[in-house]
Amino acid sequence: MVEEIRVGHTPDADDAFMFYAIENELIPMMDFKIIHCVEDIEKLNKSALNHDLEVTAISAHAMKVLEDYSILSSGGSFGINYGPIIVSKNRSLDNLNNGLIGIPGYLTSAYLLMTLAFGKLKCKEILFSQIPESLNRNEIDYGLVIHESQLTYQSQSLSRIFDLGIWWHDKTNGLPVPLGINVASRRLLRNDRIRDFDRLLKNSIIYGLEHLDEAIDFASRYGRGTEKTTLTKFVKMYVNDYTVDMKEEGKKSIITLFKLARENGIIDKEIQIQFAS
């Protein structure tokens, strides 16, 4: 019997790449019919509070406010000695504490990483794709940049002043940077079906990697005008071995993220984390 489920993912090239084979049913669908719900990551973070979707992409940081979810082993976005960056038009890192920083959301992993590195700062939530424009309009002093803007900021007359991915790599002795993850609601799906979807997503990612050019062409619809060479570089950065299967290292990085947040007084409770496998 085919089971219809709603799956949330972002309008970003790496997510589109991962779901290429699923959306076009190029692989066995394991008795799932997928309703795709495409939203900005911070909207998905907040939607997950209500268990609106059976499966959804979220920021790893959002797990601090969620209950009854299992983290899938596939589909995660992990940086490998790279990650979100802080950029500015004309300011230095020395003045960060006195400036206004545009951030893509308070539940994003990028925001938690920045808070771990620098403490609480004066921030303003802005849609991630609009942060470079806000900097150039002098509406903010600094921008916390995610997605393909990590590669295109120089073309927007901005300078990188800090790489949170390098900071995390040094802080944790080389753990991957935990950014986005996929979770399944245990209120809406049985555990065996959660494991089935985890395998389906893994198979979709592998298919995309084995059919790179066509999967990139599909993902380019979410590239926001980014040229193909840059888009391909971005996808290869965030669809890596840890995306196929986060393995123990990926799990450890998520656990370490919340351990550090607890030790630094950023969160005040132990976060209950359950992995699908």
Q: Quick one: average pLDDT of 103-117?
A: 96
CATH code assigned at 44: 3.40.190.10
Q: Please indicate, yes or no, if residue 273 is contained in any of the structural domains.
A: no
Q: Which residue shows structure tokens 């299967």?
A: 245
Burial track 215-251 (b if 16+ CB lie within 10 A, e otherwise): bbebbbebbeebeeeebbebbebbbbebbbbbeeebb
Distance CA 157, CA 268 (A): 39
Contacts of 243 (CB under 8 A, 6+ apart): 18, 74, 75, 76, 77, 78, 205
Q: Please indicate, yes or no, if residue 271 is contained in any of the structural domains.
A: no
Please give the residue range of the domain that contains residue 226: 3-78+178-263
C-beta of residue 134 within 8 angstroms of C-beta of residue 126: yes
Q: Are residues 59 and 107 in the same domain?
A: no
Closest CA to 15 of 52, 55, 54, 66: 55
List, for residues 243-254, the tens digit of each pLDDT value. Answer: 999 999 999 999
Q: Are residues 97 and 152 in the same domain?
A: yes
C-beta of residue 74 within 8 angstroms of C-beta of residue 205: yes
Q: How confident is the model at residue 223 (pLDDT cuts 50, 70, 90)?
A: low
φ, ψ (nearest 5 deg) of residue 256: -65, -35
Q: How confident is the model at residue 110 (pLDDT cuts 50, 70, 90)?
A: very high
Q: Please indicate, yes or no, if residue 241 is contained in any of the structural domains.
A: yes
Q: Are residues 15 and 89 in the same domain?
A: no
Which pLDDT value is given to residue 263?
Answer: 96
Distance CA 162, CA 117 (A): 10
List, for residues 166-215, the tens digit of each pLDDT value. Answer: 999 999 999 999 999 999 999 999 999 999 999 999 999 999 999 999 99
Give bridge partners of residue 102 from the DSSP assignment.
124, 143
Q: Are residues 74 and 145 in the same domain?
A: no
Specify the pTM.
0.93
